[in-house]
Structure 1
Amino acid sequence: MKRFLILLSLAFLSTSSVFADNLKSKIMPLKDRAEIQNRLFKDRVSTVLPKIMERTGIDMWIIIAREYNEDPVIRTMLPSTWLNARRRTILVIYNPGNGKNLETYAIARYDVGEVFKKMWDPEKEPDQYLALSKLIKELNPKKIGINQSEYFAQADGLTATEYNLFKSSLTRAQFRRVVSAEKLAIGWLETRSGLEMEYYPAICNIAHQIIREGFSSNVISPGKTTTDDVVWWYRERIIELGLTTWFHPTVDLQRSNNAEFNFLSAFSKSKESNVIQRGDLLHVDFGITYLGLNTDTQQHAYVLKVEESDAPAELQNALAVGNQLQDILTEQFVIGRTGNEILLDALNNAKSVGIKPQIYTHPIGYYGHGSGPTIGMWDKQQGVPINGDYPLYKNTAYSIELNAKVYIKSWEKEVAIMLEEDAFFDGEKCEYMDPRQTKLILIK
């Protein structure tokens, strides 16, 4: 066993050297990334946020968090070199209307990055919340939005303690103007800017390249390598490239045996004992975080038998069915339609052409499972209450996640073609940010 582990470690090292130069050259140094992330944020404040505030009718947005207990929204607004909030961080965004620029303030001892300007002098007013109350009085907003939401977690970042302190600092007249900023927070998180979309396709391409690296003979030796070995290779590769991930990858397999496909096992119980053999159909669920944006991808590979030069036609056709289901789903993307409407029509259309579908698509961007319309969940194929009733807006991104079960005659059973690709909806069409998988990855 010890000798095997040493050999495995050496194999991983040699694999890294094979791939390193090509992909590493595409990854920016941390300093460059930080500068780009700050530029992306500044651009969003001027191009995205005013429209969302106008749409929701909230002219003041207050975001409050403390160090290590950050609101999900405030994480997207801090300078790239701030890994956390500092002490208590209070950000105030005010829309004066009439086409004027947003006013952005920090009730803090110092500016918060280049966007939020210091508006608190503790020597003159020691109470941070009273300083906030005075700013509210000065600006006199009509609606004050705070991050509270029963159903959308990323719009529910205000803690009970901070809410109570905030409430006690306001006059009755001020408090009557306080409303939930749920739709404002969702809109901010789900909307992608034009500048972000100059970078996002390349991020998806990097994720695709890493998947192909792992699904290759440089990493996988049939009869020796386990699915868990490949999972940890992906984790190590992400670190080696200076990237991060927002979830632990999974790698599972289906093969010509009596085992029936189990959805839960595929995604949460992949075992080390799954030694990869020739003739296996492999599946990976993988994502990275880069420049503050996330990817979420599922693809398939086939391990060639010694006498084979291509995957069996039945498996290739099964992948084509999965692609057909993707097309059926993305054709349903129309501004104003809810996630549930998109889901149910896509399922009905798929079934009408003989496909056995499951759809569980979600928004993606600042968070892997982002805010916006939920388009099915694997265990809620009749629709998702509340989150599935949220409408589709333009300039939003989605992980087109689904599966189609296809009968493979030579295997005498169904296989699940589980696909996930990141796409952007511009208001007219939903297109993949980097070309989707249309052919099985082949492992020799």
Structure 2
Amino acid sequence: MKALIFVSLLVSCVVQAQFHPRQPAQYWPLPPLRTRASIQNNWTSERIARIPKLLKKYGAGAWLICQREHAEDTIWWSVKNATDFDAHRRTVLLFHTNDSSLAELRRVLDEYHPFRIVLNTDEDIAFAGGLHVGELAVLQRELGEYWTNRFVNEPMVAVEFVATKLPTLEYYRIMQENVWAMLEEGFSDKVIEPGVTTTEDLSWWFREKMQFLNISTWNQPRVSVLVEDSYPGWGGTEDVIEEGDILHIDFGITAMGLDTDTQHMAYVLRTSGAEPETDVPDSLKEGLRKANQLQEIVLGNMKPGLSGNTVLHQSDWGHDAGSVIGFLNLPEYVPVLGELPILPNTYYSVGLYAYHFVPERNEAIRFRLEENVAWSDESQKWERLSHELENPTMQA
């Protein structure tokens, strides 16, 4: 028996024109934890240094973030030091466009006199709605009506702050290939014994492997056996893996403040019958190609400035900060989040499915895939170069 990940040779256009390896993916070590923390803190400092320019872009003079320990604002996780685990007691952050150093809050407000003060109070966007109601009450009481009348909700400040990525692709490439290496090892006869191994066993194998690689879990590995037109929930399924099964996994890893999110599929070859299989059935390969083509269509329509809903309509179908291009339960239009613009220098998780009829099973199967992509000026140069190298006759 050999369980094959049959997305391996077909997925293209992933992390900044980093194609899925033609050869088996390899495990690559990330730096030691201490080095990772130093690198991550440098990224955070660079991100914070951009805040004054971001505030001016949205016509704001200050951005006030207030939180208590264990009740942190969503933005806290993007501004904290790498080794901080939460806010200490009450932590108040004031970012502003003035050059003076941060001091006692009220004195700084009196000295600088910002006209519009952004608070994270948005009702619809989680990354811009992290201010707890108790903290808002404290601010209103302590600062008084004079300053609270200047509070405004400007959600794109938080969204763009979190969504705009720094030069992290060197490490993100390593993380992504480690994910592929885990998938190729986990979905193989090294780990799966048909009739014995369960989907839950496989989920725990991925958790143990992540611990061994000194990385943590972003979204827990959810392994499922696809039955009829099933669409497993957040917990995956609890099945014994058998020959002829189609497997699906959705999971992500976390390291250095970066997250991945990947969905792959696999097929368990039938090797014990009179005519043992040596390859994946062509009908399944064709379904995968169809889903890959849909990925390429979405990527081709993603342009900075377009809304997620515009890309959705053009494509005919992350959870991170930024625009959303369709939800499973909202396949035609996504309120609020779908109207946010596609931002440059941002990572996107492209998760989708395509129906394809499989004659051997006499049913249409959803081929569900997800890969992480990076949009930046550099990535577009790499994509054009890769296309030219693969199509030399099209070069000028």
Q: Same fold (TM over 0.5)?
A: yes
- Segments ≥4 residues shifted beyond 4 Å: 427-432
1:54 positional shift: 2.7
Once the two structures are superposed, the pairs formed by residues 250-399 of structure 1 within 5 Å of their partners are: 250-254=222-226, 259-263=227-231, 266-272=232-238, 274-306=239-271, 307-347=276-316, 359=317, 362=318, 369-399=319-349
The residue that corresponds to 2:124 in the other structure is: 151
The residue that corresponds to 2:360 in the other structure is: 410
d(CA) in 2 for partners of 1:420, 1:179: 37
Once the two structures are superposed, the pairs formed by residues 22-421 of structure 1 within 5 Å of their partners are: 23=27, 26-46=29-49, 48-96=50-98, 105=102, 119=103, 131-193=104-166, 195-254=167-226, 259-263=227-231, 266-272=232-238, 274-306=239-271, 307-347=276-316, 359=317, 362=318, 369-421=319-371
| Structure 1 counterpart of 2:197, one-letter code | T
Residue 170 of structure 1: SS of its match in structure 2? Answer: helix
1:318 positional shift: 1.0
d(CA) in 1 for partners of 2:270, 2:228: 22
**Alpha carbons of structure 1 residues 407 and 386: separation in structure 2 relative to 1, 3 Å:** same
**Alpha carbons of structure 1 residues 315 and 211: separation in structure 2 relative to 1, 3 Å:** same
1:78 positional shift: 1.0
Aligned residues: 354
Residue 416 of structure 1: SS of its match in structure 2? Answer: strand
| Structure 2 counterpart of 1:61, one-letter code | W
**Alpha carbons of structure 1 residues 321 and 291: separation in structure 2 relative to 1, 3 Å:** same
d(CA) in 2 for partners of 1:179, 1:200: 35
TM-score, normalization: structure 1?
0.75
d(CA) in 2 for partners of 1:387, 1:270: 27
d(CA) in 1 for partners of 2:89, 2:373: 38
The residue that corresponds to 1:127 in the other structure is: none
1:405 positional shift: 0.9
d(CA) in 2 for partners of 1:269, 1:77: 31
d(CA) in 1 for partners of 2:331, 2:60: 34
| Structure 1 counterpart of 2:169, one-letter code | M
Residue 333 of structure 2: SS of its match in structure 1? Answer: coil
1:371 positional shift: 1.5
1:103 positional shift: 5.9
Per-residue deviation, residues 176-217 of structure 1 (Å, max 9, x unmatched)? 322114110111111112x22332222222222222221111
| Structure 1 counterpart of 2:302, one-letter code | F
1:429 positional shift: 4.7
More off after superposition, 305-314 vs 416-425:
305-314
**Alpha carbons of structure 1 residues 228 and 196: separation in structure 2 relative to 1, 3 Å:** same
1:422 positional shift: 0.4
| Structure 2 counterpart of 1:79, one-letter code | N
Per-residue deviation, residues 381-426 of structure 1 (Å, max 9, x unmatched)? 1211111111112111111000001001122111111000001122
1:166 positional shift: 0.8
d(CA) in 1 for partners of 2:285, 2:202: 23
d(CA) in 2 for partners of 1:431, 1:145: 37
Q: Tell me if structure 2 keeps the 8 A contact 1:186–1:372.
A: yes
1:430 positional shift: 11
d(CA) in 1 for partners of 2:228, 2:304: 39
Per-residue deviation, residues 219-254 of structure 1 (Å, max 9, x unmatched)? 101121111110111112112222111222111123
1:82 positional shift: 1.2
Q: Tell me if structure 2 keeps the 8 A contact 1:63–1:158.
A: yes
Residue 181 of structure 2: SS of its match in structure 1? Answer: helix
**Alpha carbons of structure 1 residues 35 and 70: separation in structure 2 relative to 1, 3 Å:** same
Residue 202 of structure 1: SS of its match in structure 2? Answer: helix
Q: Tell me if structure 1 keeps the 8 A contact 2:30–2:174.
A: no
**Alpha carbons of structure 1 residues 293 and 225: separation in structure 2 relative to 1, 3 Å:** same
1:104 positional shift: 6.3
d(CA) in 2 for partners of 1:180, 1:66: 20
Identity of aligned residues (%): 33
Query: Runs of 5+ in structure 1 lacking a partner?
Result: 1-21, 97-101, 106-118, 120-130, 348-358, 363-368, 436-444
Query: Runs of 5+ in structure 2 lacking a partner?
Result: 1-25, 387-396
Q: Tell me if structure 1 keeps the 8 A contact 2:217–2:252.
A: yes
Residue 92 of structure 1: SS of its match in structure 2? Answer: strand
CA RMSD of aligned residues (A): 2.1
